[in-house]
Amino acid sequence: MPVTAYDLSGRTVFVTGAAGGIGRASALLLAQAGASVHCADHDAQGLEETAALVRDAGGTARTHHLDVSDRAQLKRAVACCERLDVMAAIAGIMHSSPVLETRDEDLDRVLAVNFKGVLHACQEAALRMIADRTRGSIVTMASGAIDTGGAGLLCYGVTKAAVVQLTKTLATEVGPHGIRVNAVAPGWIRTPMTARHGEAQERTEALMARMSPLGRVGEPEDIAHAVLHLACDAAAFTTGQILRPNGGVAMPW
């Protein structure tokens, strides 16, 4: 495969969850591949920091401070794009509670961001691509949690499983328009979201590193490269698929 298959020069990408972690790493890498990047997140400060990093590296970035669970906000942001070639729907949150203690409001919030937010991004991207006759790529963010049950992670796991179903269904519906839809299902990745668990995080990382044939946990950049692959022409014949960069470990939650 020629290196030019990873060249996104002249293309525009939209990244949700771009204020940090996997979203930030993806925005930076996509920009390094030549794309003009639209960065979206509810974290205004982190969003501006990401955009500054993109610009410092010689890339082009525009920011959109929004809540992906609000369809109208996302619709307005996508409408601001001069064109749209790639949607990377990465924004997500994590909630932990035992099944018997999970409240309706807990599930509703995680669904609003992790599923509805991804649905909104996919819908707006696909509609724009179809209208412009763009043979684009949509990349969603699932999780290793889709493959195994995890104590306390009902809300998170359910929403990520829903993202997989969305990805596969949408791929069949928009494929005739030349639009590809794929998901990335990472293993344990060291991000600001996972780092909030303190000592428990350290123990989990040590466990995951021991279980991986590679002897380490993942970094945001590892997942960003998976996003780049699915976004560009190197994956031109790939759609409806779930890419699992997990270091050889299915998360044993």
CA separation for the pair 230, 185 (Å, rounded): 12
Residue 6 is among the residues annotated as catalytic for this protein: no
Distances (CA, A) of 130 to 8, 36, 80, 134: 20, 20, 16, 6
Neighbouring CB atoms inside 10 A of 79's CB total 10
CA separation for the pair 243, 239 (Å, rounded): 10
DSSP annotation string for 157-201 = HHHHHHHHHHHHHHHHHHGGGT-EEEEE---SB--HHHHTTTHHH
Q: Which residue of the set 6, 14, 115, 156 is catalytic?
A: 156
CA separation for the pair 224, 184 (Å, rounded): 10
Three-state secondary structure call for residue 137: strand
Three-state secondary structure call for residue 138: strand
CA separation for the pair 179, 174 (Å, rounded): 6
Which residues are tagged catalytic?
156
